[in-house]
A and B are shown apart, each in its own frame.
Chain A
C-alpha cells in the first residue's frame, strides 16, 4: 500500500493508520462534540454554493472583463480620472494583456488568452476556472442566480440558528480580553502551532475574528453589491447604489469581495490541513473530533 492510498483511506474511512496525523489514530481517545448538525450542513452547502457562484461569476465577468469605480462604465483604457480602469483583461492577437491600475502585465496562457477544449481562445479567465467552461454568459447567469438563492437561504438558516442558540455570541464574537491576545496568537500561528481541539474546544481569537469578518462583513458586502447590479433592485433600493458609489463601483467591489473569499478559503484549507486534516474533516462531517489534537507539522 502506498502512502497516498493510506492517506486517502484514512481520510475517508477514518481507519486507524496514517503517519502524519497520529492523534486520531490512537484508540480510546475521548471524542468531543465540536460542530452541531446545523453548522455542518450549512458549512457544506456553503462549500458547494460558493464554488458554483465563484466559477459562474468568473464566466459572467468574462463578458466584460474590465472594472472601474463610479456609476457608469469607462471604455477608454487611457482614462485617468476617478473612473479610470482598475482592472482590464484584454488580448493583442495571441498575447494576453492584463492591466491593473495602469500597470501592464503579459498574462498569456492564464488571463486574456488561454487554452480551451476548442484550442487557444481570447478570454479573460481561463476555461478551467469558469462555469460553463466555454464562453456562455446566459448559462452562467442561470447557475449564478440559482446558487445565489441557495446561498441566501443557507445564510439565513445559519444566522437564525446562530442567534437562537447563541452560537454566534458564544463562538464567533471575540471577547475584549481575547483581543489582547491577537499579537501573541499571530506569532503562534506563524510558527504553525495550534491547539484547536485540545483543552478548550473553542475557536481562538484569530479564528473568531476571521470567521466574524467573513460572515458579517465580506459576505454581506458581496451579496449587497451583487444585488445592486440588478436594475429591479436599483429601482427598489436606490440608496444602495449611493452606498457603493454607483453600479460599476458595486461591480468592482463584488469582484474584490469574491477574491477576498477565495483568499479566506485558501488560508482556511491550509489551516485545516496543517492542524489535522482528518480530525477536522471528521468533526465537520460527524460533528465529533478527537480531543487533544495537536499539530506537529
Chain B
C-alpha cells in the first residue's frame, strides 16, 4: 500500500517537476532561442505554400451578429478624441520611410481609390472566431502610389492607441510613457501585397466603429486577429523593425507573441 502511494506521488511529483523545469528552461536565453526555432520553422514552412492562396470568404448571411471588439477599444489620446469629435474629417495618414514618393492620405483620398469588400473570418489568438464584412483600399494600391524602395522589407503601422489604458471604455489610471507604449505592428512585403490585405474604413457596410479601429484598420486575413492593426496613424516602410519598441516588430510581439501569426 505504502509503495503504491509513494509511486503515485513520485509520478505526480515528476510531472510537476517537469513542468517547473520547462518554465525555468523557457526563461533562459538558450531556452528562448530553442522556442523561437519553432516559429522560424513555421514561417519557413508557410512560405513553401503557394503564395496566392486566399482566405475563405463567406456570404453576407454568415456575418456574426456579435463581433467581439478586442484589444484596444477606446483610445484615450486627446488627439484621437479630437479626431472622433470631428468625425475624422481632419484625419490624415502619412506614408513614408523607404519609399520614393512619400505622401499623406485623407479618408476622402482612400475612399476615392478602388475598393475591395470581403466577408472573412477573424480568428483571435485566444481561440474565438467571428465573421465580418470589411471594405477598404488594398494596401498594394497605396504602396503603388508611394513606390517602395527595393530595400523595404516591412510595412510598419503606427497607431493612436495604447493598449495599457485603451482596452477598456472606463477611464483608466494614468500610466507613464514607458509602461504604456503606443501600439504598432508590422507585416512582411509578401503579405502586404496580397489582394485581401486591405486598409479597411468600413465594417458590415457602416463606417468603421471606434471599438473596431476607426477610422482605418488593417485586414490581413491569413494571420490571426492581433496582426490586424487598428487606429492607424501613419505607415512606414522599413528594412528592419529592430529600432521600434522592444524590437520584436509589434506591440503584441513585444509582449511575447509570434511575429508571424499564420498559425
List the interface of chain A (C-beta within 8 A of B): 2-4, 7-8, 20, 51-52, 55, 60-61, 63-64, 66, 71-73, 75-76, 128, 130-133, 136-139, 141-143, 145-149, 229-236, 238, 241, 247-248, 251, 269
Residue of B nearest to A63 (CB): B126
Question: Among the listed stretches B20-28, B165-173, B231-239, which one makes contact with chain A, having 4 or more residues with CB under 8 Å of it?
Answer: B20-28
A sample of 12 cross-chain residue pairs with beta-carbon separation below 8 angstroms, ordered by A number, consists of A51-B15, A52-B22, A64-B124, A64-B128, A131-B22, A132-B26, A142-B38, A142-B39, A146-B38, A148-B38, A229-B123, A235-B221
Residue B61 interfacial (CB < 8 Å) = no
Of A8, A132, A137, A148, which one neighbours B23 at CB under 8 angstroms? A132
Contact of A247 with B121 at beta-carbon distance under 8 Å, contacts A55-B19, A149-B38 already known: yes
Contact of A146 with B6 at beta-carbon distance under 8 Å, contacts A71-B62, A133-B19, A235-B56 already known: no
For A141, what are the chain B residues with a Cβ–Cβ distance below 8 Å? 125, 257-258
- B213-227 with Cβ < 8 A to chain A: 221-224
Question: Among the listed stretches B29-37, B83-91, B97-105, B146-154, which one makes contact with chain A, having 4 or more residues with CB under 8 Å of it?
Answer: B29-37
Residue of B nearest to A61 (CB): B127
Question: Among the listed stretches B41-49, B107-115, B155-163, B179-187, which one makes contact with chain A, having 4 or more residues with CB under 8 Å of it?
Answer: B41-49
Measured CB to CB, the closest approach of chain A to B133, in angstroms, equals 14
Residue B174 interfacial (CB < 8 Å) = no
Of B19, B37, B222, which one neighbours A131 at CB under 8 angstroms? B19
Contact of A131 with B129 at beta-carbon distance under 8 Å, contacts A145-B38, A235-B55 already known: no
Q: How many residues on B have C-beta within 8 angstroms of the other chain's C-beta atoms? A: 55
By the criterion CB–CB under 8 Å, are A133 and B35 in contact? Answer: no
For B64, what are the chain A residues with a Cβ–Cβ distance below 8 Å? 72
Contact of A143 with B121 at beta-carbon distance under 8 Å, contacts A236-B50, A238-B56 already known: no
C-alpha gap A175/B127 in the complex (Å): 42
Contact of A7 with B127 at beta-carbon distance under 8 Å, contacts A72-B121, A142-B36 already known: no
Sort A-B residue pairs by CB-CB distance and give the 8 closest, nearest first: A146-B38, A138-B256, A232-B262, A64-B127, A73-B128, A63-B126, A142-B35, A230-B263
Measured CB to CB, the closest approach of chain A to B186, in angstroms, equals 17
Residue of A nearest to B15 (CB): A51
By the criterion CB–CB under 8 Å, are A145 and B263 in contact? Answer: yes
For A269, what are the chain B residues with a Cβ–Cβ distance below 8 Å? 11
C-alpha gap A133/B42 in the complex (Å): 25
6 more contacts with CB within 8 A, not counting A131-B23, A233-B263, are A63-B126, A137-B125, A141-B125, A143-B22, A146-B34, A235-B53
For A238, what are the chain B residues with a Cβ–Cβ distance below 8 Å? 56
C-alpha gap A67/B127 in the complex (Å): 9
Measured CB to CB, the closest approach of chain A to B131, in angstroms, equals 6
C-alpha gap A149/B36 in the complex (Å): 12
Measured CB to CB, the closest approach of chain B to A281, in angstroms, equals 12
Of B37, B53, B125, which one neighbours A146 at CB under 8 angstroms? B37
Residue B93 interfacial (CB < 8 Å) = no
Measured CB to CB, the closest approach of chain B to A5, in angstroms, equals 9
For B10, what are the chain A residues with a Cβ–Cβ distance below 8 Å? 8
For B56, what are the chain A residues with a Cβ–Cβ distance below 8 Å? 234-235, 238, 241
Contact of A149 with B127 at beta-carbon distance under 8 Å, contacts A131-B22, A143-B22, A234-B55 already known: no
By the criterion CB–CB under 8 Å, are A72 and B258 in contact? Answer: no
Contact of A71 with B129 at beta-carbon distance under 8 Å, contacts A142-B39, A231-B221, A247-B121 already known: yes
For B6, what are the chain A residues with a Cβ–Cβ distance below 8 Å? 4, 7
C-alpha gap A75/B7 in the complex (Å): 43
Measured CB to CB, the closest approach of chain A to B256, in angstroms, equals 3
Measured CB to CB, the closest approach of chain B to A252, in angstroms, equals 10
Residue of A nearest to B223 (CB): A231
C-alpha gap A63/B11 in the complex (Å): 28
C-alpha gap A76/B128 in the complex (Å): 13
Of A2, A66, A71, A149, which one neighbours B131 at CB under 8 angstroms? A71
Measured CB to CB, the closest approach of chain B to A141, in angstroms, equals 7
**In this complex, which of A75, A141, A233 has the most chain B Cβ atoms within 10 angstroms of its Cβ?**
A141
By the criterion CB–CB under 8 Å, are A71 and B121 in contact? Answer: yes
Measured CB to CB, the closest approach of chain A to B161, in angstroms, equals 19
By the criterion CB–CB under 8 Å, are B256 and A139 in contact? Answer: yes
Measured CB to CB, the closest approach of chain B to A138, in angstroms, equals 3
By the criterion CB–CB under 8 Å, are A75 and B223 in contact? Answer: no
Residue of A nearest to B125 (CB): A137
Of A52, A76, A232, which one neighbours B263 at CB under 8 angstroms? A232
By the criterion CB–CB under 8 Å, are A251 and B127 in contact? Answer: yes
Contact of A145 with B126 at beta-carbon distance under 8 Å, contacts A139-B256, A235-B221 already known: no
Measured CB to CB, the closest approach of chain B to A89, in angstroms, equals 13
C-alpha gap A138/B23 in the complex (Å): 13
